[in-house]
């Protein structure tokens, strides 16, 4: 299990930091009691906030939150799930495991991973999200279960030497659950259809691809 402590944020104001410490203190006590917590993800895609809040402020907040978690739960390993591998490498000194999300061209992902690995100062590098939607409007467009499966197979093949690859996500979402992710209806629909299983729990073609590359999986 890799719990994410912070995701959508409207502010990185220092005035909020005291309340965030109280939140971390309560969460740390829970996480320390669970043996199945492999990593703690401090912030999901922090680099998406650079443009609006400023890179320096976001990074200062990350450094503080990481330091607080080190004090509160030194036994827990930390990561940050970056959108851009270059940012993951830049902040590698802050974490125990370097991680980033990879939605790029399968022909390029291996080179990106190798660059991240070479810049990670010997730390493990995990790709904590890959995936493609299967949302179809008409006749397999703009996506389909087949194109989703083919894309996932190509990603797995290209990243076969990676130290860890995690698929986003297991099940499709309810459309309304994506409101915070995107405001445009078609973007929300895409986000709702990244699952290996549909909303009724039925496996898609991508689920078989996952089984082939992860033979120990029970689903």
Closest to 173 measured CA to CA, from 182, 163, 164, 162 = 182
Among left, alpha and beta (phi > 0; psi -120 to 50; other), residue 216 is alpha
22-31, 96-105, 190-199: least confidently modelled range? 190-199
pLDDT of the residue at 181: 66
pLDDT of the residue at 188: 79
Share of the chain above pLDDT 90, in %: 76
Q: Where are the domains of the chain?
A: 1-130, 132-219
pLDDT digits (tens, 9 = 90+) for 69-81: 999 999 999 999 9
pTM assigned to the model: 0.90
pLDDT digits (tens, 9 = 90+) for 49-69: 999 999 999 999 999 999 999
pLDDT of the residue at 176: 67
CATH superfamily of 1-130: Glycosidases (3.20.20.80)
Between 110 and 218, residue with greater pLDDT: 110
Closest to 126 measured CA to CA, from 38, 31, 7 = 38
pLDDT of the residue at 165: 95
Average pLDDT, the chain: 91
pLDDT digits (tens, 9 = 90+) for 85-138: 999 999 999 999 999 999 999 999 999 999 999 999 999 999 999 999 998 777
Pairwise CA distance, residues 125 & 138, whole Å? 39
Instruction: Using the structure block, give the residue that is written with the tokens 């409007």.
Output: 137
* Residue 58 bridge partners (DSSP): none
Average pLDDT over residues 182-188: 70
Between 188 and 40, residue with greater pLDDT: 40
């Amino acid at each position: 299990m890799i719990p994410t402590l912070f995701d959508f944020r409207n502010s990185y104001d220092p005035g909020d930091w005291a309340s965030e410490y109280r939140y971390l203190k309560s969460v740390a006590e829970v996480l320390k009691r669970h043996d199945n917590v492999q990593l703690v993800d401090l912030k999901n895609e922090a680099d998406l906030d650079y443009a609006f809040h400023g890179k320096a402020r976001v990074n200062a907040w990350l450094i503080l939150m990481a330091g607080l978690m080190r004090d509160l739960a030194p036994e827990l390993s930390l990561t940050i799930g970056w959108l851009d591998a270059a940012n993951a490498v830049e902040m590698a000194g802050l974490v125990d495991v370097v991680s980033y999300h990879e939605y790029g061209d399968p022909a390029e992902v291996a080179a990106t991973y190798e660059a991240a690995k070479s810049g990670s100062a010997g730390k493990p590098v995990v790709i904590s999200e890959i995936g493609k939607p299967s949302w179809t409007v008409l006749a397999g467009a703009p996506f389909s279960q087949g194109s989703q499966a083919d894309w996932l197979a190509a990603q797995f093949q290209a990243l076969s030497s990676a130290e860890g690859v995690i698929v986003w996500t297991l099940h499709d979402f309810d459309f309304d659950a994506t409101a915070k992710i995107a405001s445009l209806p078609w973007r929300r629909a895409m986000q709702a259809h990244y699952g290996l299983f549909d909303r009724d729990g039925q496996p898609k073609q991508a689920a078989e691809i996952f089984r082939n590359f992860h033979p120990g999986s029970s689903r």
